[in-house]
Structure 1
Amino acid sequence: MSERHSARTRARRIEVPDPSAGAGETTAAAQFVYLGRQPILDRDGAINAYELLFRAGAHNYAEIDCDTQATAQVVAHTIGGIGVQAVLGHHRGFVNIDRALLFNDIVHLMPPERFVLEILETVTFDAQLTRRLTELRRAGFQVALDDVSEPSDELIHVLPHTDIVKIDFLQTGRAALGELAAIVRSHGKTLLAEKVETRADFTLARELGFDLFQGYFFARPQVLTAPRSRSLRPGLLRLLALLSRDAGIGELEAELKLNPSVVVQLLRLVNSSAFGLGRNIASLREAIIATGTRQIARWAQLLLYADSGDLPWRADPLVQLAGTRSRFMELTASWLRPSDDKFADAAFMTGIFSLVHVVLDSTPRRVLEKLGLAPHIREAIVARTGELGALLRLAEVAGEGGDAASVAAAPEAPAGFAALTPDVLSELNLSAAAWFGAHVEETGG
């Protein structure tokens, strides 16, 4: 973790401006996710990769109490919060990783062609670990050894199980640099000079045959920022419980419907470079099938690791609104077309994603274009078109206690909507609220 113990530096923030400026750093930190990113350059001075660094806030330094949680948040923010493409472009990302996560299935959430596993200097190598590294390298991961500062028998033992060796230019005596570089080169490994802070260090590293370079001489870390998505620990725990007993798609779908925030994360996972499906998702069932239960389990575990203790969902009005709205739309769609499950599924998805732009502090069109939703769902939310758009207008009015029956009976309403009388709509609305409220009581959320 090359930058972890460095002095505090002035933050350079990009991506999303903070709309709550002046409300205090604690409030801002609760509303946004942060990620440090420091470039790693090649011998020509071009960006080769980025090291991804934990940041708890806009300040440009790390405050780490738990390496496992820090790494989990880095991965969650990169894949589910900001997005792999926005963070890395076409480059790779070096992620600091401790022993616990090396043996956790979570590591496979990261596409091996996009992420390098950077083994922390605190990790002890033994037979079990070397076997695990062999497995991960066979799966396509590259392994980087962090903070090497002196030749040793242990280094010789470890080199066959790594691909990249990061030599710390602040901690390594100049007399030892040549020997270290020669040892690493003789094993055919990539040499990376880290904590390079002067032109003299850069010149020396090039003369010694280093391949990659990182440090304040080139660039200080940037802090990337994006609005925070809300994670729901009770729902994640229930989801993991279902997955642990090989529950069917129907049960998983029912559970995910109760957790709008997790569904948003799932869609991002489906559309990450790990899958590259290149197709639109029109139902929650399709998202589950496209992702696979094992990947969903990994993602749920990662979100639990990364959980930062937001509002419990019984106290979160936006989560309640998304949950009851989406259920109301599903129930209404089923009432209108009792045998059309696809229509009900699409109605539920429309309800959930109708509020995503609020969570992400953006516009509906900008957010939904990135999620890979089916066009009829996207346009229902953005332009209120089609039957789904009409259902959404109905749900909005019903949720605000307005005259939803008048909306259903309006001349421009789709055929069949006029049958949604005040009594029917009242019953559907009550059923949606009861469904969500019952789950809150059951989980203690």
Structure 2
Amino acid sequence: MRDAFAGSSAGYAEHEHPDLAAQYVYVGRQPILDRDGALHAYELLFRAGTYNYAEISDDAQATAQVVARTIGGIGVPAVLGQHRGFVNIDRALLFSDIVHLMPPERFVLEILETVHYDASLARRLHELRRAGFQVALDDVHDLSDELSAMLPYADIVKIDFLQTPRRTVAKLAAMLRAHGKTLLAEKVETREDFALAHQLGFDLFQGYFFARPQVLAAPRNRSLRPGLLRLLALLSRDAGIVELEAELKLNPGVVVQLLRLVNSSAFGLGRNIASLREAIIATGTRQIARWAQLLLYADTGELPWRADPLVHLAATRSRFMELAANWLRPADSEFADAAFMTGIFSLVHIVLDSTPDAVLEKLGLAPQICEAIVARKGELGALLLIAEVAGEGGDAAPVARAAGFPALTPDVMSELNLSAAAWFGAHVAESGV
């Protein structure tokens, strides 16, 4: 259901605070209730701001943003709890790999009324249902030939109570029940509508009579588009793990999203991730490609990454820590990997406008990395403290000596800082963005 409610349930209107609102991403959700009035699911709705109505110019991009924000931004548990989410799907996304980013047990594919039936659509819906997805037909309001053709490939039919004459509602309900379909009454706005739908045997109910959509917000991630383009280029030519790892090291924001994907209910790995390589292997290149496609579609690209000081700081700090770890233990690649991860995630709480504890708890990082970031404990914590002091132009030599790293002399650290900055600068020059 694409809604058009023009009221506001938020504490402020985005148009009145554009600078503040631009720092956040939004998702609307409207409850779907069962016959007993209990919460059954949510429909997830695109929202450009805190105002509670949709401004959609591109169905595919709106859905991509809803999915990206639900999975990678706000988080599935926060948005859906233990319930399913209905997501509007147009034809382009229906045939895209992006669909498979959504765990079938958590998302229902709500096929927009603009999607017309043909043999290709039938095959695709059959494939998706075999993969475990439930399919809902949106905004049904008459007994059309198109509806009859689509029925074998649908589980749920949403009947629009605003557009459908009451006599037609009764006929539709009887026909759909005879086909064994789950009936959902949408845009139910009065007690009389609800009573009629209940009497006619509808299974699920949605509309302003029960609840208007609620708008959820989360801090907006920095623009990921240039890095995503390069990552997709590597994936398209079947690049190896070494190349993917090198590219991801340059894109802290993409790494954060990757870690969230690894720890989503779609994977349920139940183990901590201590390196980018582990994250890549655990996720798989196909899922990384799907996620990158979705983020690329959803990203607004408001700030060039080369001009973003936080991206620059995260990239150079993590590279400095990797180089320092290599200097201290040339044969210990795991230590260098963990040092790089520590550097990247030491700043992620700023990007997400949260605290280190709150952010790291959701990412499933190895304990030594979390302890280093939160409490500056262990060798990684010492390296992080050294990187912070050195990055601010301070004298990090006393910190290095106190940590048991006398090999990190002022001359060595100066060279490592220059190398880290040159590494990032060279990438900016090569990318041309």
Q: For this structure pair, what is the TM-score category when the shorter chain's length is used for normalisation?
A: over 0.9
Q: Partners in 2 of 1:250 and 1:210 — Cα distance?
A: 54
- Superposition map of 1:25-424 within 5 A: 25-410=17-402, 413=403, 415=404, 417-424=405-412
Instruction: Name stretches of at least 5 consecutive residues in structure 2 with no aligned partner.
Output: none
Q: Partners in 1 of 2:98 and 2:150 — Cα distance?
A: 23
Which residue matches 1:11? 9
Q: Residues 378-418 of structure 1, C-alpha deviation per residue, up to 9 Å, x if partnerless?
A: 000000000000000000011101111222123xx1x3x11
Whether the aligned pair in 1 keeps the contact of 2:224 and 2:301 (CA below 8 Å) is no
Q: Residues 117-163 of structure 1, C-alpha deviation per residue, up to 9 Å, x if partnerless?
A: 00011111111111110000100000000000011222111100101
Q: Partners in 1 of 2:390 and 2:302 — Cα distance?
A: 28
Q: Which amino acid aligns with 1:312?
A: P
Q: Which amino acid aligns with 2:6?
A: R
Q: Residues 344-400 of structure 1, C-alpha deviation per residue, up to 9 Å, x if partnerless?
A: 000000000000110111110111011101000000000000000000000001110
Which residue matches 2:428? 440
In 2 relative to 1, CA 23–186 (structure 1 residues): closer, same or farther, beyond 3 Å?
A: closer
Q: Partners in 2 of 1:29 and 1:53 — Cα distance?
A: 18
Q: Residues 242-291 of structure 1, C-alpha deviation per residue, up to 9 Å, x if partnerless?
A: 11111111110000000000000000000011111111101110000110
- Alignment length (residue pairs): 433
Q: Partners in 1 of 2:129 and 2:263 — Cα distance?
A: 25
TM-score (norm: length of structure 1): 0.96
Whether the aligned pair in 2 keeps the contact of 1:60 and 1:222 (CA below 8 Å) is yes
Q: Which amino acid aligns with 1:248?
A: G
Q: CA RMSD in A?
A: 1.3
Whether the aligned pair in 1 keeps the contact of 2:223 and 2:303 (CA below 8 Å) is no
Whether the aligned pair in 1 keeps the contact of 2:14 and 2:21 (CA below 8 Å) is no
Q: Partners in 2 of 1:199 and 1:359 — Cα distance?
A: 45
Q: Partners in 1 of 2:170 and 2:208 — Cα distance?
A: 22
Q: Which amino acid aligns with 1:91?
A: H
Whether the aligned pair in 2 keeps the contact of 1:236 and 1:304 (CA below 8 Å) is yes
Cα distance, 1:26 vs. partner?
1.9
Cα distance, 1:12 vs. partner?
4.1
TM-score (norm: length of structure 2): 0.98
Q: Partners in 2 of 1:22 and 1:121 — Cα distance?
A: 30
Q: Which amino acid aligns with 2:34?
A: D
Q: What SS does the aligned partner of 1:304 have? A: helix
Q: Which amino acid aligns with 1:7?
A: F
Q: Which amino acid aligns with 1:425?
A: M
Cα distance, 1:332 vs. partner?
0.3
Which residue matches 1:430? 418
Q: What SS does the aligned partner of 1:36 have? A: strand
Q: What SS does the aligned partner of 1:325 have? A: helix
Q: Partners in 2 of 1:363 and 1:155 — Cα distance?
A: 50
Q: Partners in 2 of 1:321 and 1:81 — Cα distance?
A: 22
Q: What SS does the aligned partner of 1:418 have? A: coil
Cα distance, 1:444 vs. partner?
2.2
Q: Residues 92-137 of structure 1, C-alpha deviation per residue, up to 9 Å, x if partnerless?
A: 0000010000000000000001000000111111111111100001
Q: What SS does the aligned partner of 1:178 have? A: helix
Q: Partners in 1 of 2:261 and 2:291 — Cα distance?
A: 8
Whether the aligned pair in 1 keeps the contact of 2:372 and 2:380 (CA below 8 Å) is yes
Q: What SS does the aligned partner of 2:363 have? A: coil
Q: What SS does the aligned partner of 1:298 have? A: helix
Cα distance, 1:30 vs. partner?
1.8
Q: Which amino acid aligns with 2:417?
A: N
Q: Partners in 2 of 1:424 and 1:441 — Cα distance?
A: 26
Whether the aligned pair in 2 keeps the contact of 1:30 and 1:310 (CA below 8 Å) is no
Whether the aligned pair in 2 keeps the contact of 1:234 and 1:444 (CA below 8 Å) is no
Q: Partners in 1 of 2:249 and 2:315 — Cα distance?
A: 8
Q: Partners in 2 of 1:240 and 1:349 — Cα distance?
A: 21
Q: Partners in 2 of 1:8 and 1:24 — Cα distance?
A: 16
Whether the aligned pair in 2 keeps the contact of 1:379 and 1:389 (CA below 8 Å) is yes
Cα distance, 1:23 vs. partner?
10
Q: Which amino acid aligns with 1:189?
A: K
